[in-house]
Structure 1
Amino acid sequence: MRPLEATLPPSPIDLHAATTVVDGSTVIELSDEHIERIRRGGVTAVNHTVTVPYADTVTALRQVNECRRWIDGHSDSVLLALDVADIARAKAEGREAVILGPQDTEMIGVDLDLLGTFHDLGVRILQLTYQRQNLLGSGCGESSDSGLTHQGRAFVREMNELGVLVDVSHCGERTGLDAMDASGRPVVVTHSFCDALSPHIRAKSDAYLRRLAEQRGVIGITSLSAFLYHPGDPARRPDLARFVEHVSRVGEVAGIDHVAVATDYDETLTEAMRAEQAKAKEFHNLLGDWPWDQRRAVGMDDHSHFANFTAALLDGGFSAEEVGKVLGGNWLRVFAEAWKPGPSMSNPSPRKETSDEKTHPL
């Protein structure tokens, strides 16, 4: 007979410490304070929005360079993640692996050579559009969505060839579905939530989630109050139990292998910057009217509290194995498949339209 302790599930603290934890989308502050928050939260890797949306080429290159120089200057604590082996090394060495993942392609346009340059500089995740229409497709902030353009399809194929993960978080629904059809590798929604629970232009429908699963992709569930809101009680600040409800919904609709964590926290944003952003058309209805100190879900004020995700998922009935997938395992699986350069495999699951597909209005 095995000893009793061998049959007991791991504690939240032990499970969190043993897991390679990944934040699927965040904007990091290039500071010692950020490193300390990450260390206290037990986070191994982050997908960092390294360039601001709508940056021109020169600005984007400068921002990539600034981040890389910061990583170089803090090599005892941070490393640049170019493949999954780098993330494993960061976990083993107690460092943070930073993945460069811009949320826009306007700095590249349709120049495939320039796309290759950004890959050479370390970009491994790239969102096709950010809210508005560009040369590749439509953002979810547009009133109409005609889908991925011919140039957008060529762009996605080149991302597959290079080994850059396709992100469709801020894309319009049709554009995102078209990207899944065009890509021979998994497509991801790095940071979003469920439209069935919290209707929003940034949310994803059940039909969309099912297609994402067919395409082997992953959606990261954010923990921002504006996105996890309760439609029946919109003044009620969401907590991590609400986050778990969104994770559970994806698990029911698409399967536990296709959901993960993505805080969508911008560590560089100030209260004054947020007020100014809210005036811009592209950010209409994105941030909500939450007081500054309530903008994030109860229990997750910053990355130092990341272990609270583990406890909340266990409290929500997920097994230790499932929690490991949500915290990082699902991201690692999709990274391993998408980041391998060379010709992509043919897409085994062409999309079938369903009656509950819809385009989100503003």
Structure 2
Amino acid sequence: MNDVVAKGVPLSPLELHAAATVIDGSTVIELGDEHLNRIRRGGVTAVNHTVTRPYADTVTGLREVNACRRWIDEHSDAVLLALSVADIRRAKAEGKEAVIFGPQDTEMIGVDLDLLGTFHDLGVRILQLTYQRQNLLGAGCGESTDPGLTHQGRAFVRAMNELGILVDVSHCGEQTGLDAMDASDKPVVVTHSFCDVLSPHIRAKSDAFLRRLGEQRGVIGITTLSAFLYHPDEPQRRPDLARFVEHVSRVVDVAGVDHVAIATDYDETLTEAMRAEQQKTKELRNLLGDWPWDQRRAEGMDDASQFGNFTSALLDGGFSPEEVIKILGGNWLRVFGEAWKSAP
């Protein structure tokens, strides 16, 4: 818990946000000054960056990791690569952004555990087992059937535990995700999702899944994409941060406050033209719906510069300052510490 909050010092929402270690559990960052400006204005300490795109082959994945490593090196006055919890704490102390490498797919690795070790050496600390489709490890949530984690998938999870890579099951089918929790000696996370009971969707997680996640000491990051926080009874109504808090509260009711966090799931590189092109594919249309470009994100959270609005919304929703500190980033720090190895 943050020391200032632990001492019981009354803080305004702005002061509380500034005192917290704020972490975005899933985003695609734009490698440029505009990203850095948004992060500074939003008071964000660390982000889990989708450093390689889903379905990338090995060479493409390595190139994308290299490009981000070089960008971090060139902006060392403002950014650092997070390889440990200590790096995130250092970023907070120095007013920098800590970037965590967290690909959303394993297809660039296949089942080559040596190659998994190579990606760890290059900085990967969070790794999603599957994206939407079936791969060699298990089923994605876009499949009509989910037979669960494969034998190769179980070996892969054990290798991730040994290396110190956090297992992410955000886009996995439900059985594959549950099997991953059974196979893992360390907590498993859902870096970016939401509650199926509130907003039914192939990407959402059931109460039973959330309950098991809590038992396994994992964490779920609640996204603020309109397609995911939608109101079933008013599907054209743009969700806001009060709706985000409803999803957070549901996780708290089912799994406990130690198991929920924030993950915008925003792609800063996406343009309106790119989004229109995506809408032509059935997979992405089913995934993201047909929200107008200017309403694709929850009201009050258009980009990372508005991260402070999360703090106000959580306080308005009845959460205590201590709980807000956990949701803003404390819960991510706890699970990172359990899964990652300490720096030598």
Distance 1:232 1:151 in 2: 42
Q: CA deviation at 1:8?
A: 6.7
Q: Are residue 248 (structure 1) and residue 249 (structure 2) matched?
A: yes
Q: CA deviation at 1:288?
A: 1.1
Distance 1:284 1:172 in 2: 18
What is the TM-score with the length of structure 1 in the denominator? 0.92
RMSD between aligned residues: 1.2
Q: Are residue 340 (structure 1) and residue 341 (structure 2) matched?
A: yes
Letter in structure 2 aligned against 1:276: E
Q: CA deviation at 1:9?
A: 3.2
Hey, what does 2:3 align to over in structure 1?
A: none
Tell me, yes or no, if the aligned pair for 2:51 and 2:65 is still in contact at 8 Å: yes
Hey, what does 2:62 align to over in structure 1?
A: 61
Q: Are residue 188 (structure 1) and residue 189 (structure 2) matched?
A: yes
Letter in structure 1 aligned against 2:173: G
What is the TM-score with the length of structure 2 in the denominator? 0.96
Q: CA deviation at 1:7?
A: 6.7
CA-to-aligned-CA distance 1:103-122 (integer Å, 9 cap, x gap): 00000000000000000000
Distance 1:235 1:281 in 2: 20
Hey, what does 1:312 align to over in structure 2?
A: 313
Tell me, yes or no, if the aligned pair for 2:279 and 2:290 is still in contact at 8 Å: no
Report 1:34-183 matches (<5 A): 34-183=35-184
Q: Are residue 329 (structure 1) and residue 330 (structure 2) matched?
A: yes
Tell me, yes or no, if the aligned pair for 2:161 and 2:185 is still in contact at 8 Å: yes
Q: Are residue 200 (structure 1) and residue 204 (structure 2) matched?
A: no
Distance 1:286 1:16 in 2: 32
Q: CA deviation at 1:135?
A: 0.2
Distance 1:282 1:153 in 2: 27
Q: Secondary structure at the match of 2:99?
A: strand
Q: Secondary structure at the match of 2:286?
A: coil
Letter in structure 2 aligned against 1:195: D
Where structure 1 has 5 or more consecutive residues not aligned to the other structure, the ranges are 1-5, 342-362
Hey, what does 2:273 align to over in structure 1?
A: 272
Tell me, yes or no, if the aligned pair for 1:9 and 1:320 is still in contact at 8 Å: no
CA-to-aligned-CA distance 1:42-98 (integer Å, 9 cap, x gap): 000000000011000000000000000000000000000000000000000000000
Distance 2:139 2:324 in 1: 34
Distance 2:151 2:9 in 1: 55
Tell me, yes or no, if the aligned pair for 2:224 and 2:297 is still in contact at 8 Å: yes
Distance 2:9 2:98 in 1: 32
Tell me, yes or no, if the aligned pair for 1:165 and 1:187 is still in contact at 8 Å: yes
Q: Secondary structure at the match of 2:288?
A: coil
Q: Are residue 239 (structure 1) and residue 217 (structure 2) matched?
A: no
CA-to-aligned-CA distance 1:260-302 (integer Å, 9 cap, x gap): 0000000001111112222224324111111000000000000
Distance 2:246 2:122 in 1: 38
Distance 1:316 1:94 in 2: 29
Q: Secondary structure at the match of 1:60?
A: helix
* Residue-pair matches, total: 337
Q: Secondary structure at the match of 1:118?
A: helix
Distance 2:320 2:279 in 1: 40
Distance 1:137 1:15 in 2: 41
Distance 2:213 2:60 in 1: 33
Letter in structure 2 aligned against 1:261: I
Letter in structure 1 aligned against 2:286: N
Q: Secondary structure at the match of 1:191?
A: strand
Distance 2:8 2:48 in 1: 35
Q: Are residue 261 (structure 1) and residue 262 (structure 2) matched?
A: yes
Distance 2:241 2:166 in 1: 28
Letter in structure 1 aligned against 2:150: T
Using a 3 Å threshold, how does the CA distance of structure 1 residues 8 and 340 change in structure 2: closer, same or farther?
closer
Where structure 2 has 5 or more consecutive residues not aligned to the other structure, the ranges are 1-6
CA-to-aligned-CA distance 1:114-156 (integer Å, 9 cap, x gap): 0000000000000000000000000000000000000000000
Tell me, yes or no, if the aligned pair for 2:139 and 2:146 is still in contact at 8 Å: yes
CA-to-aligned-CA distance 1:319-339 (integer Å, 9 cap, x gap): 000000000000000000000
Distance 2:252 2:323 in 1: 10
Report 1:278-317 matches (<5 A): 278-317=279-318
Tell me, yes or no, if the aligned pair for 2:27 and 2:263 is still in contact at 8 Å: yes
Distance 2:86 2:300 in 1: 31
Letter in structure 2 aligned against 1:267: E
Q: Secondary structure at the match of 1:285?
A: helix
Distance 2:305 2:132 in 1: 30
